[in-house]
Amino acid sequence: MLTTTKGTSTWTQKWKCILLLTFIFIANATIYWLTSFPIKALKIPGPQQARWLTATPQPQPQKACGFPVQRGPLIGVSGSKSFVVTPYVEHRGTVKEIRIISIIYRPEPQNYHCLLCCGGRNFSVTATSKVHTDHFGFDFCTGDIFCPVLSGCDTPEHVTIFSNAMSVGVAGWEPTFIPVLNQEPKSSGFDFSFTVCISTLFGNYSNTLQVVESMEMYRLLGVQRVVVYKNSCSPEVQKVLDYYVSEGLVEVVPWHVSSFISVSSGWKKSVSSGDLHYYGQIPALNDCVYRYMYRTEYIALHDIDELILPLKAENWHQLLRQLEQEHSPGMGFEFENFVFPISVSDEGSKYRPKEWGDIQGVNILEHVYRLPNIPGEFNNFKVIINPRSVFEATVHGFLDSKYGSVRVSPQEAHMYHIKEAHRPYLQQKELIKDDRIRHYSSRLLPAVSEVLKNALEKAQ
């Protein structure tokens, strides 16, 4: 009995020793681990290193009336194939309402409802809609969805659109609210005198040199903001856009319409496949008009390869002052299109400095021969207008405006448009030399060189 007790006691003491040694081993190993490399990683940083030690708070998803908020463009309409681009308060009618620039799917019924968020409360109302007439036969087209502003919801901050197929409270449906812009109208004190809307850059657009030349020409003509609706572009063009964004000249609006809708590369359904006209050009133009309605005095709608060029005035300020003296205030001004064939150039080192090297793109100063327009035939045009006069914009002007528009004499100003000739059979001797663009060359050349240096060389 005594022997058994002694053996048990001895065995217990052995286990205690083993446990004690194990604890000492683990403690020493832990101390060694802490003093080996983590302290090197956690050494006390200097003031410029301290930021990475501080936990960066993750931004919380914005919500309105308990639901998530998303900024477009292009948010799907619940229960429908249509899309919302951007909602704006419409102040110009007899009653205040929200006008939502949209891309509407024409084959389905347009039965929409609005869910408004005002001060944390939801208001559901029936919407009305209008399809723009310039759909060119495509299933998707530009349209407006209108939400009435109710008593008790005088300032709707957010809105979502749903169709009759959905209803508030349906299990599993969570609306996505969109901020409503243009809350306050203005009639003066604008941020900019002239804004240009460019729609759209697509097909991995790579005409770097012409982008820079166009931007610098806009500046010389008095433009203070250029809005680019971008689908895709080359890395070099992206560097240029980034540079101009940093300069405050450009706003880039992502325009990934092709991620949602099959877009057409042409203007007419019968000759170009797709479900939406020309990369969604028209809804982009309408969005730009409303986006800058109360931020700019005038707005110009044209493409990146076009310039509205005064022939007598020095810039757009002088040109518009003259035109408004001749015509009623608020009218739009149409500038006739003249094509300068890209295949016909008047080259010379004088207009292409060596430092431009092999920059990709068209040099606008080398194209000074234009096709003669045919008298009596319709010639395309682009416009400059007070955006507060426009209700519906389109490729060439507008479908609905307050005061209409007038065609400007091509002897006063016209559109300089470099593109492939649509009448290639004409001989060069039949072309008309029109080198007004070179009037700006002494200022344009050094400005372009400076931008190419800053935007491309410094970005490498």
Residue ranges covered by each domain of the chain? 64-179, 192-457
Distances (CA, A) of 109 to 86, 133, 162, 314: 21, 16, 12, 51
CA 421 from centroid of its chain's CA atoms: 29
At residue 121, the pLDDT reads 92
Residue with tokens 């610098």: 216
- Split the chain (460 residues) into runs of 10 and give each run's mean pLDDT: 43 52 53 41 35 43 88 88 97 94 96 94 94 95 96 92 70 85 96 96 95 98 98 96 98 95 90 93 97 98 96 98 90 96 83 91 95 88 97 95 95 95 71 96 97 82
**Cβ neighbours of residue 4 under 8 Å, at least 6 residues apart?**
none
Q: For tokens 């208001």, what's the residue?
A: 123
Strand pairing class (332-341; 413-419): parallel
Q: Is the Cβ–Cβ distance between 181 and 86 less than 8 Å?
A: yes
Q: What's the pLDDT at 35?
A: 42
Helices assigned H by DSSP within 138-264: 208-221, 235-247
- Radius of gyration of the chain from Cα atoms? 31
Q: How far apart are CA 84 and CA 77, in angstroms?
A: 7
Closest-CA residue to 291 (of 420, 191, 169)? 191
pLDDT score, position 374: 86
Cis peptide upstream of residue 410 (ω within 30 degrees of 0): no
In terms of Cα–Cα distance, which of 84, 100, 200, 61 is closest to 140?
84
- Residue 256 tokens, joined: 């990934």
pLDDT at 193: 98
Model pLDDT, residue 100: 98
Q: Are the C-beta atoms of residues 164 and 79 closer than 8 Å to each other?
A: yes
Q: Residue written as tokens 């150039």?
A: 345
Cα–Cα distance for residue pair 382/333, rounded to 1 Å: 8
Q: Which of 344, 409, 320, 324 is nearest to 373 (CA)?
A: 409
Residues 77 and 114: their CA atoms lie apart, in Å, by 10
Instruction: Give the pLDDT score at 99.
Output: 98
Q: Which residues contact 343 (CB under 8 A, 6 or more apart)?
A: 420, 421, 424
Give the closest residue to 456 by CA, choosing from 187, 209, 261.
Answer: 209
Out of 2.60.120, 1.10.8, 3.90.550, 1.20.1530, the CATH code matching 192-457 is: 3.90.550
Q: Number of C-alpha atoms within 13 angstroms, CB side, residue 312?
A: 10
Q: Look at residue 71 in the predicted model and tell me its pLDDT.
A: 86
